[in-house]
Every structure is written in C-alpha cells, then in structure tokens.
Structure 1
Amino acid sequence: MKMNMVGWFEIPVADMDRAKKFYETVFQIDINVHDFGGLLMGWFPDRGQVPGANGTLIKQESYIPSKEGTLIYFNCEDVDNELSRIVEAGGSIYLKKTQISPEYGYMGVFIDTEGNRIALHSRA
C-alpha cells in the first residue's frame, strides 16, 4: 500500500457545541456539524490534496472521551500558537512545547474540553 497508514480520525465528545467552540478557537477554523440520525459529526476542514489525515469530532453513546487512549497529533506552524489558546478555550496544557529532536521538531499535548488528550506537532 503506497499511502500513509492513517486515513481518518474521530475525537469523541460529550458536548458537541462545547467541543466545536474549543477546536474552532484553538485552531482558528470552522467546524461543520452534521446529524446522521442522532450520530453527530463535527467535520474538520478538508484542505484538499495535501498530506495528512482528515477527521471529525463525534458524539454518540458508544464514543467515550478519554485521555488514556490513542494519541493523535495535529500539525501546526508552531506548537506555541495553538497552546497559547488552549486555557482560554477551556482546555488545559498537559505537556508544554518540547523538542522531540532537531530532525523531528517539537510537540505539545493538551486536554480538550471533553477530557481527550490531544497532541500538536511543528517543525519550528
């Protein structure tokens, strides 16, 4: 298979409106919410034919927010930009900007308003 392994992600939420506001504030984006018969999905913007997986916020009884599960990374220009908006948006900083290595750049981790542990990655 000649593609990256991750093709889609879903972030569980307990309160779609609260989570939507949080992620829109932190990443300065618009999230469109769709209701599929009680399954709510808040789609992150699709940027077209560029590297990286796309995904959604998701609210349904079988999806339970957690900071213990799988960790996903959002790419950004500088981890500090998004981290600077986390607390005001209602989340908390779990790991401040930390260098992975000179070759791989930096990471930071936050807890969102739903209790999920989410990471950020940047080269600078």
Structure 2
Amino acid sequence: MSGRVVHFEIPFDDGDRARSFYREAFGWQLMDLPGMSYTLATTGPTGEEGATEPGFINGGMLRRQNPNDTPVMVIEVDDIDAALAKIESLGGQTLLGRQQVGEMGWAAYFKDVEGNSMGLWQSV
C-alpha cells in the first residue's frame, strides 16, 4: 500500500557510540551492511517480509553527511519518479533522485513545504 511510513533513518557522527546507545536503550538488533556504510536497525519481531506485529517499523543508521541532518521518515510509494513530480508540483523539492538500493528497490529524498527532509521507497 502506497503512502505508509515504512522505514526510518538516524544519522550519526560516531557509529559505534550511536549503535551502542540504541542497542542498550531500546534493545534494537543492529546489523552493519558490508560495503554500504549502513546499519540496519530491527526494532521488533521481524520475519523475511518485515515486521511480524503491527505498530512498529524498522530502520537504519548512517553517517551524518552535514551538520543539519536529522532523523528521516521513509514513505513507500508505487513510483518514485511520479511521487517526486507530484511533490515538486505541490511546492516540495527533490534532494536526491531515484537511487537503486541493491536488489531490494529504490530510494529518493525530498524536502517538504515546511523544510523537512523525508525519504521515499519503491520496492522492486
């Protein structure tokens, strides 16, 4: 279903410190993805298709790219290019266009009309 918040991303300056904090504070399972400089964060019971209970999402952690980076919610869409076009027509701005993420799907980032950075996800 399109339009759901399906993922989050938390930027960090010190990966070891951030991973330790979230692991200890909330019991998250964290797994580094080799060659991607990205840590998957599992926040609850999860199977091959994702969360196995309603009410939570999983996410990831990555190195902060600039001092203003803040956590990002990622919204699932059927077509990233169409979603970015609609976002721009409504006054939003594309920050990073469609990027392939392995064989899982595509990601993009935009700024909404209030200046918030958000992510988009399109599954394969």
Report TM bin, short chain.
0.3 to 0.5
After TM superposition, the score normalised by the length of structure 1 is 0.46
| Greater fraction strand | 2
After TM superposition, the score normalised by the length of structure 2 is 0.46
